[in-house]
Every structure is written in C-alpha cells, then in structure tokens.
C-alpha cells in the first residue's frame, strides 16, 4: 500500500498536479532519499516512452483515415480524370503534411535507432574499459613474474596490484568496488605505513558495484577511530572534492570538483567528477572539502580525460542499512565524528592515509 501511495505521489509530481507546498516538500525528500529520486527518474522515462508511443499511434490513425477517404472518394471516379482532380484539390495540403510527417518519422526513427544502438553500446564499453584495463594489468604482471623466474624454480603466486579500499569501521571492515575483488582466491590489503592484513569479502552489492571486506588476520587489533563521517545528503554541483588511492604502488592524491549530480548516461546513483583517475583508484573514497565521505570511486570514461564517476555515499549507507543480522555490528560502529573538519588539506591527508589501503588480489 505504501509503494502504491509513493507511485501516486510520483505521478502527481510529474503531471504538475501537486500543490506548491507539497511539491517543495516532495523535492526536498528526493534530495535526501536516493531511492525515491531513482524511482522518479524511471517513472519519467516510462511516461516519455508512453507519450512517444501515443504520438505514433495517433499519426498512424490519421494516415489510415486519409487512406480510407482516398479509397471512398476515388472509387466511383477512378475512370474520370476530373474525379482525381477534385480529390487532389480537396486533399493536397493534408496529403503533403501527412507524407512529410510520415517520412520524417520513418527516417527519424531509423536515425535514432542507429544513433542509440552502436554509440550507446560503445559508450558503455568505454565506461567499463576500466575493469578490462585492470584485467590486462593482472595478466601482464603475471606474465612478467613468470618470465623472470628461473624455469627450475616454482613461480611464486603472483599478487595483483588491483585497486583501493578504505575503512568504514574501526573494528576491521572496509569497502571497495566489487569488480576489484571479483574472482579473487584471496585478498590482501596494505596501507602507506606498510601494515598488511588478510581480508575476505563478506557482502556484495552487485547493482552498485560495492563490496564489504573484513580483516581476518589474527594479528589485527583495530584501525582506531576513523577521522571522516559519511554524508547523507546530496553534494552540491561545483563543490571541491578529492580522493586518495593507489593507481601505483604509493598513495596518490587527486583533486577536482563535482561536475554533475548524475553519473554515466544520467545515472542518478553516481556523481561525475573532474579528477583524472586510473584503474587502481577503483574503490577509493571521494571526500568533500570538509572531509565528509560523499562517494566511492567506481570508474572513468575512456577517451575523456578528467571524466570520472563515483557511487554516492547514500547508496553505501543504504547497503549498510540492509546488511544481514550477522553483519549488523558494522552499522553501530560507523564513524560519528569528523576530525578532518576545519583542517588544511595536508593535515587532512596525513590523518587519512592509514585508513586507505591498496587491495592486492591473489588468483
């Protein structure tokens, strides 16, 4: 019943039937409720599709009507040239308009299909190329290691420099992108101070490409109090943002701005940011100027330097809220105090470094 009520409100909003106060309250709710915003976007697309279909049906009906008139009026006068002349004089303008609309619809539809099919597929391929690049790096590194080892000695198990992860609780839980650890036999994390821990994947959100890792190393005690908190509301367009990650063996800082409140192809679950990224950045944190965590780095668009994407922190929090009972302690141990607030960037980075890890995958 609640779901039906929600769709009633969405339809009322999209049809412009809401009162001003109700509309303002609904838009405020959309800014804080990522799932509602996604439902509104999907419903708008559905209505637009239905509207386009209705237009095509109306045109088809109009053309069928004209065709019926032509048959009715020309049948008795088919043998007389004068009959054709009378019919043409009466319907010339209508036929011309209908023919033009019909031709434009046909060629427009063909052009749209061609424009949408190949480029959209190509664009999608270009977005996921980041994952393919990670796979190429894995294979290349394995080949190099195998090549330089003496044939008489067994080759060591190659570790792949794969991506980035960051702590979400002091007691050993981390987040990274699912594609970073996909297919891994075992996973190791290491921070800039050289601390290494064995971890296992305990939960995966395939839709948003997020995975939770837990430290299983017996030597592990605790990360300590995390210096950042998770932002629940939408970040502002043009806001300064930054990230720390491992596109190479040592940690790298990247800074830019939030260039769009939606991600690739209008994806409302992600932000677009103007930070040049590389494969190893996947799974790293995206923070605002105050040190609030606002997203998780997910990928980039190949061929577009500085066009990168991050899953919004609202969806990370949503995933944490939906965890099974055995993982419920994560929710109670989330950081509650932002000690980065008011600090200059170098001081923020010094505090952050020990909570951000390179993720190494063993296959």
- Segment 307-359, tens digit of pLDDT: 889 999 999 999 998 888 888 778 767 888 899 999 999 999 999 999 999 99
Would you state the pLDDT for residue 167?
94
Q: How far apart are CA 12 and CA 19, in angstroms?
A: 10
Would you state the pLDDT for residue 89?
60
Residue extents of the structural domains in the chain:
159-363
Contact 251, 245 (CB under 8 A): yes
Q: Which residues contact 276 (CB under 8 A, 6 or more apart)?
A: 254, 300, 305, 306, 308
More confident residue, 268 or 7: 268
- Is residue 358 classed as helix, strand or coil in its secondary structure? strand
Q: Is 159-363 in CATH node 3.40.50.10330? A: no
Give residue 248's Cα distance to chain centre. Answer: 24
- Segment 49-92, tens digit of pLDDT: 676 667 667 766 776 776 666 666 555 544 455 555 555 565 55
User: What global pTM score does this model have?
Assistant: 0.61
**Furthest CA-CA distance within the chain:** 101
Please identify which residue in the block is written with the tokens 């596109």: 247
Confidence band (pLDDT; 50, 70, 90) for 123? very low
- Segment 196-218, tens digit of pLDDT: 999 999 999 988 999 999 999 98
Mean pLDDT confidence for 33-54: 73
Sign of the C-alpha dihedral, residues 199, 187, 246, 209? negative
134: pLDDT strictly greater than 70: no
- Is residue 18 classed as helix, strand or coil in its secondary structure? coil
């Amino acid at each position: 019943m609640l779901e039906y009520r929600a769709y009633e409100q969405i339809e009322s909003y999209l049809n412009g039937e809401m009162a001003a106060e109700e509309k303002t309250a609904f838009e405020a709710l959309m800014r804080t409720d990522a799932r509602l915003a996604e439902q509104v976007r999907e419903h708008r697309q559905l209505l637009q599709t239905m509207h386009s279909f209705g237009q095509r049906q109306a045109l088809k009906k109009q053309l069928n009507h004209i065709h019926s008139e032509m048959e009715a009026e020309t049948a008795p006068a088919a043998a007389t040239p004068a009959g054709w002349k009378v019919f043409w004089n009466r319907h010339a303008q209508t036929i011309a308009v209908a023919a033009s609309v019909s031709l434009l619809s046909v060629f427009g539809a063909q052009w749209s299909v061609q424009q949408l099919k190949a480029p959209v597929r190509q664009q999608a391929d270009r977005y996921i190329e980041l994952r393919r690049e990670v796979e190429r790096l894995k294979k290349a590194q394995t080949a190099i290691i195998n090549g330089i080892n003496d044939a008489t000695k067994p080759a060591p198990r190659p570790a792949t420099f794969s991506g980035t992860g960051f702590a979400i609780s002091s007691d050993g839980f981390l987040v990274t992108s699912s594609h970073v650890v996909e297919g891994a036999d075992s996973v190791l994390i290491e921070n800039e101070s050289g601390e290494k821990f064995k971890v296992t994947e305990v939960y995966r959100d395939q839709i948003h490409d997020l995975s939770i890792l837990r430290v299983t190393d017996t030597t592990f005690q605790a990360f300590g109090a995390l210096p950042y908190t998770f932002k629940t509301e939408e970040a502002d367009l043009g806001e300064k943002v930054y990230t720390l990650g491992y596109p190479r063996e040592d940690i790298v800082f990247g800074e830019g701005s939030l260039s769009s409140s939606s991600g690739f192809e209008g994806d409302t679950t992600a932000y677009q940011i103007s930070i040049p990224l590389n494969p190893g950045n996947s799974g790293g944190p995206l923070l605002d100027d105050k040190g609030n965590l606002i997203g998780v780095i997910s990928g980039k668009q190949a061929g577009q330097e500085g066009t990168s994407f991050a899953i919004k922190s609202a969806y990370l929090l949503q995933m944490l809220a939906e965890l099974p009972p055995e993982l419920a302690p994560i929710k109670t141990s989330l950081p509650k105090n932002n000690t980065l607030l008011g600090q200059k960037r170098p001081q923020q980075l010094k505090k952050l470094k020990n909570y951000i890890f390179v993720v190494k995958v063993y296959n």
